Amino acid sequence: MRVMTVLGTRPEIIRLSLIIGKLDRLADRHILVHTGQNYTDSLNDVFFRELGVRRPDHVMAGGSHTLGGQLSVMFGEMERLLREERPDIVLLLGDTNSALCAIVAERMGIPVAHMEAGNRCYDLTVPEEKNRRIIDAVATINMPYTEYSKQNLLREGFPANRIVRTGNPIGEVMAQYKDRIDGSGVLERLGLQERDYVLVTTHRAENVDVPAHLDGILGGLNRIAERHGKRIVCSIHPRTRSRIDAGGTAVQPHPLVEFHEPFGFFDFVRLERDAWCAVSDSGTVQEECCLLGVPTVTIRNTTERPETVDCGSNVVSGLRAGNIADAVDVMTALPASWGIPAGYEALDVSDIVVKYVLGGKWNV
């Protein structure tokens, strides 16, 4: 069995890390392809180093381009690599532009396995919502993490024999590297105390590319700092940094609001674990903080992870400054005692995925 795994962003590297190692050992040939979507050290190389993921067999130049240029490079390179490598199946994860390479594989008659299938926020202003619907539609086998996502696919008419609920891979990855996470010295380096800071990430186009939305987010962080006197530790994505530096916001940050370059995996999970609260537009932060017992405020109007809201670990605040600060007040006033959603604590996701990819059950 010849398997091609395609990735291109930090969350994909992390969540596929254990699966990549097992496919390397068990597949007749495992071809690892990086699209180049995330190409800086802080968003890419550091995760290969920390997680012990081998270097890709092929690296595209899909990074610093306009959307059209990026997709043109990725699709053209994907077609060339598929003809050259002739895989029996292509494995992808998530809803990024990198995962849109599924379109090329499907059009060339090559089966596609899609992890993280079935997520829906039902907001088509979110670029990833469009992506995930397209990728699910062209995939041969869809691998949702949760029953919520599986039911989304069934309601949309996807055949049940093409759906495999796997569980969420992040719990297995975090368990694998628990000692390294525990050993991170990031709190000491930053002079932080446990449960005495707010961890923040924001990177989504619909948030940082719209000045009014970015103003609302930064204004909300200022209000949190004013109300609670806690340090606001922002892991700042290059996209967000470029918007702020280009004058994309009129809001001046409070002295307690501090911006840091993106952290490595071990440092970031340690920061999540010991935060008083997390404020983020990231789907992965919702998942990780749910597992870690840290209350989360999602600074968006919707979420494709409703299980985190239903269990009580997360609330969706919208993008108004006052609503963001009020949501933090609510989440930190409530006890952090929720039941972990089914599938989040799974520790055998890599085995399930590898068995289905190599077992040929998709070829029915």
Cα distances from 339 to residues 148, 238, 308, in angstroms, run 16, 35, 10
pLDDT recorded at residue 134: 98
305: pLDDT strictly greater than 70: yes
Cα distances from 87 to residues 3, 16, 25, 148, 356, in angstroms, run 5, 18, 16, 31, 15
Average pLDDT, the chain: 94
Query: Domains (ranges, CATH) in the chain?
Result: 2-167+346-359 (3.40.50.2000), 179-333 (3.40.50.2000)
191: pLDDT strictly greater than 80: yes
- The mean per-residue pLDDT over the stretch 184-213 comes to 94
Distance CA 122, CA 287 (A): 19
Task: State pLDDT tens for residues 24-71.
Answer: 999 999 999 999 887 665 556 788 899 999 999 999 987 667 889 889
The residues pairing with 258 across neighbouring beta strands, listed in sequence order, are: 233
- For the stretch 117-127, what's the b/e string if a residue is b when 16 or more beta carbons lie within 10 angstroms of its beta carbon? bbbbbeeeebe
Spatial neighbors of 23 by CB under 8 A, at least 6 apart, are 3, 5, 30, 91, 354, 357, 358
Distance CA 268, CA 14 (A): 12
pLDDT recorded at residue 43: 58
Active-site pick, 30, 34, 203, 213: 203
Q: Which helix (H) or strand (E) holds 334?
A: none
- The mean per-residue pLDDT over the stretch 110-115 comes to 98
- The mean per-residue pLDDT over the stretch 341-347 comes to 96
Tell me if residue 203 is catalytic: yes
Residues in the chain: 364
Distance CA 30, CA 43 (A): 24
Contact call for residues 290 and 273 (beta carbons, < 8 A):
no
Distance CA 351, CA 357 (A): 10
pLDDT recorded at residue 242: 82
Neighbouring CB atoms inside 10 A of 360's CB total 12
Distance CA 265, CA 51 (A): 8
Task: State pLDDT tens for residues 212-246.
Answer: 999 999 999 999 999 999 999 999 888 888 888 87
User: Mutual orientation of helices 283-292 and 169-176 as an angle, nearest 10°?
Assistant: 60
DSSP letter at 87?
-
Q: Give the pTM.
A: 0.93
When mean pLDDT is compared across 11-15, 34-38, 144-148, the lowest value belongs to 34-38
DSSP letter at 233?
E
The residues pairing with 200 across neighbouring beta strands, listed in sequence order, are: 234, 279
pLDDT recorded at residue 160: 96
Tell me the pLDDT band of 328, cut-offs 50, 70 and 90.
very high
